[in-house]
Amino acid sequence: MNARKLRMYRRARTIFLFFLFLLLGVTVTFAQECPDGTLLFREDFGGNSPEDLPVSVNPSPGMSPSYQQITSPNMGFSSGRYMLTKNGGKNGNQWYWQDDHTYPDDYERGYLLLVDGSGGEHQFFEVVMDGLCSGVPMYFSAWVVNVHTVEHERVWGLNRIIRPNLTFAIYDGETGVLIDSYDTGPIHPDASLPLGDDYKKSSKWNKYGIRFSLPEGTHSARMKIVNHASYGVGNDFAMDDIEVRICNEKPELTPPAEICMNRDVKLHAYFDNTSGETENLRYRWLFSSTGEVKTNSDWRILADTEVPDYTIAAFTVADNGYYRVAVANEQNIDREYCRGMSDPLLLQGEVCPCLEVLRDTVFLTSCDSLLYGGAVYRESGSFPLDTLQTMAGCDSVNILSVSLLHSVLTQFDIQLCEGDSYRFDDEDLNVSGVYSRKYRARNGCDSVAVLNLQMNVCQEPCEDVERIIYENVCVGKAYDGYGFTLPIQEETGDFTYRNEVRKGDCDSVTLLRLTVQNCEEEHARPCGGGAGDILPAIYFTPNGDGVHDRWQIENIGCFDYEVHIFDRFGKELCSWKNNFDGWDGTYLGKPMPSTDYWYWIKLLPHGKIHTGHFTLAR
């Protein structure tokens, strides 16, 4: 799928995901894709201690000045007010008893931003970040929930309830020019909770956000969250855990198997650098007694290394704490927002048993001998060598383990097609037969390798049917498209044409299913309607029970059209032009798995494009 189509169905998918959620009870995440990369910024609104007040008296950062803050649990809510609170149940049975996202099901810790929205466009959050890297993919996100209950919507009537509608916007921090934005669309309430007393529950949080990169030369960004829903009943929501992350694989610290007092502790960092975006890597090892990641002021530098390893020598009580590693190239290792950062790893030392067994294992053939520590060993067994004592007074016993191996006979069978060859001990073989090689050690012990080579006549064709095209053409017309050029068609019927393109050693095959038909003059169709009249199904169940066995598009016959279906990797599975009769969920005659698939529909003559996705459920 090309980039334009991909952007189009991403923009359109929010509405379809919600209805699929209602139908199948699936938990949906509305945020755009981004790995759990390095955290640059987080706003959780505080209140993380049970001793903090139930309602914060501090204002929310970046809140619209036209909104009034409620600083007491006894103050009533109305449109244009907000509160930083540990409990979202503030409006009778109209709102959910919402928990904090940072601390789920815990109503004693963590503030959430609770808003009774008024009409118009108002800003609810803003942060300015300087020192960012241009061209680096980042992710600006927040966890949001519609706190207006489904039960109360049912009482008022669905069409009378206003749903929140947020925009995540990125601006140049210096010029104020808009760089990118993302609209959530209407944010729906949690329909999975039981009606009647659903206000006593906490609805599911959903993550929304935008993936973006700063243009070349831009290093400052102003990030805003704006609600632009209209005034009316509803428009009530909560927000929590606003984050900015770098969209890359963050380093991972491997915890040591044990942390013993007065012994060396080794740390190893794993960083996936297969993309090649960073060369000449530097590893900066950091320590903190608190582990707080919202600021780097609590972290001190331990060492900079060129290898992903760091050793804490003779671990003591003073070394108890949190460890992190920052990874970047030499130019960016000092730039806080341009480097990958691992999650904190807590290390706490303990007193370990004093006796430690150190084993050296040696493998010998039956006629080998080993000179070790002044002694000669020719038999299998375990031999204590010496006892070592550390500065802490712990003993370690060094043991030599000797295992005898006999001469090795290795036999393997290889089958090849005629014309191929097999390299065996620096010799290319292409004739059937049994071949052997002996490998002699200096002590006279042999290892034998035997090859049984069978050359076969391979007649199975090598081809790959990549796609099937369905097309229509009128009698008396020629056809030219998808690599096929056909003469004027003089007979009606269904015809199949084959086009092969050589790719390496295999053929790539395209099949054209051409329907030749009598074409009448275009006339008014009884269904009529505009470009929005088609209704693609949001799911189908091809299990042969006669119900929803094919994916259908309601009213598609009212237009001239093109229909294309893709899998989740963007591969086109099939297409139709004016002859769509439903998709049975197969590709090249084989059933496709239960998952989501995407469509791209073009209606003619006005050229309206419909994109979205649907679910195949077996």
Does residue 272 contact residue 327 with C-beta atoms inside 8 Å? Answer: no
Residue 286: the pLDDT is: 95
Q: How many CB atoms lie within 10 A of CB 491?
A: 7
Which of 5-9, 45-49, 232-236 has the lowest average pLDDT?
5-9
Residue 24 has pLDDT above 50, yes or no: no
Residue of 579 and 442 predicted with greater confidence: 579
57 token code pair:
């008296």
| pLDDT (average), residues 201-215 | 91
Higher pLDDT, 449 or 549: 549
Q: Per mean pLDDT, which range of 103-112, 391-400, 444-453 is the poorest? A: 391-400
Structural contact between residues 222 and 313, judged by C-beta atoms closer than 8 angstroms: no
Higher pLDDT, 60 or 30: 60
Mean pLDDT of 44-64: 91
Copy the structure tokens of residue 32. 């755009």
DSSP string for 173-221: TTT--EEEEEEEEE----TTSPSSSGGGS-PPPEEEEEEE-PPTT--EE
pLDDT in tens, 566-593: 998 889 999 999 999 999 999 988 999 9
- Please report the pLDDT score of residue 172 as a whole number: 96
Average pLDDT for 112-135:
89
Quick one: pLDDT at residue 10? 37
Q: What pLDDT was estimated at residue 367?
A: 60
Report, as an integer, the average pLDDT of 535-555.
Answer: 91
- Residues 284 and 325: beta-carbon distance below 8 Å: yes
Neighbours of 105 (CB within 10 A): 7
* Candidate ranges 154-168, 208-222, 286-300, 455-469; pick with highest mean pLDDT: 208-222
pLDDT (mean) for 512-522: 69
Residue with tokens 């370990």: 352
Burial category of 60 from C-beta neighbours within 10 Å (exposed 0-12, middle 13-18, buried 19 and up) = buried
Confidence band, pLDDT 50/70/90 cuts, at residue 390: low
Average pLDDT, the chain: 80
Q: Any idea which of 304-313, 422-431, 563-572 has the lowest mean pLDDT?
A: 422-431
201 or 308, which is more confident?
308
8 A C-beta contact, residue 587 and residue 574: yes
Phi then psi dihedrals of residue 412, to 5 deg:
-145, 150
Tell me, what's the pLDDT at 447? 67
Q: Which one-letter DSSP state was computed for residue 604? A: E
Q: How confident is the model at residue 240 (pLDDT cuts 50, 70, 90)?
A: very high
| Region 187-198 average pLDDT | 76
| Cis-peptide into 605, omega within 30 deg | yes
User: What's 234's DSSP letter?
Assistant: B
Q: Distances in Å between the alpha carbon of 92 and those of 98, 157, 195?
A: 12, 18, 15
pLDDT at 53 over 50: yes
Q: Is the pLDDT of residue 540 over 90?
A: yes
**Cβ-proximal residues to 89 (8 Å cutoff; 6+ apart), any chain:** 95, 96, 97, 98, 199, 200
Res 389: pLDDT: 55
Asked if residue 59 has pLDDT above 90, the reply is: yes
Q: What is the pLDDT of residue 4?
A: 38
Question: Which residue has better confidence, 577 or 231?
Answer: 577
First-to-last alpha carbon distance for the chain, in angstroms, is 25
DSSP 9: H
Q: What percent of the chain has pLDDT over 70?
A: 76
Which domains occur in the chain, in start order? 31-246 (2.60.120), 252-347 (2.60.40.10), 356-405 (no CATH), 409-456 (no CATH), 463-616 (no CATH)
Which position has the higher pLDDT, 371 or 306?
306
Least confident of 22-31, 81-90, 312-321, 472-481: 22-31
Residue pointed to by tokens 């056909």: 486
Average pLDDT over residues 79-108: 84
> So what's the pLDDT on residue 467?
64
Residue of 335, 339, 311, 309 whose CA lies nearest to 326: 339
Instruction: Give the per-residue pLDDT at 325.
Output: 94
* Higher pLDDT, residue 144 or 414: 144
Q: Which of 224, 318, 206 is nearest to 262 (CA)?
A: 318
Q: What is the pLDDT of residue 504?
A: 53
Which distant-in-sequence residues (6+ apart) come within 8 Å of 508 by Cβ? 463, 464, 466, 500, 501, 502
Between CA 490 and CA 498, with CA 493 as vertex, the angle to 5 degrees is 90
User: Above pLDDT 90, what percent of the chain?
Assistant: 35
User: Would you state the structure tokens that stand for residue 136, as one six-digit string?
Assistant: 């680096």
Q: How confident is the model at residue 441 (pLDDT cuts 50, 70, 90)?
A: low
Q: Pick the residue with more confidence: 305 or 294? A: 305
pLDDT band at 319 (very low <50, low <70, confident <90, very high): very high
Residue 36's pLDDT band (boundaries 50, 70, 90)? confident
- Of the listed ranges 94-103, 149-158, 365-374, the least confidently predicted one is 365-374
Token pair belonging to 324: 């992190």
Helix, strand or coil, per DSSP, at residue 165: strand
- Tell whether the model's pLDDT for residue 200 goes beyond 90: no
8-21: buried (b, 16+ CB within 10 Å) or exposed (e) per residue?
Answer: bbeebbbebbbebb
**What is the predicted pLDDT for the residue at 248?**
78
Residue 432 DSSP label: -
Task: List pLDDT tens digits, range 12-21.
Answer: 433 343 333 3
How many Å apart are CA 65 and CA 80, to the nearest integer? 10
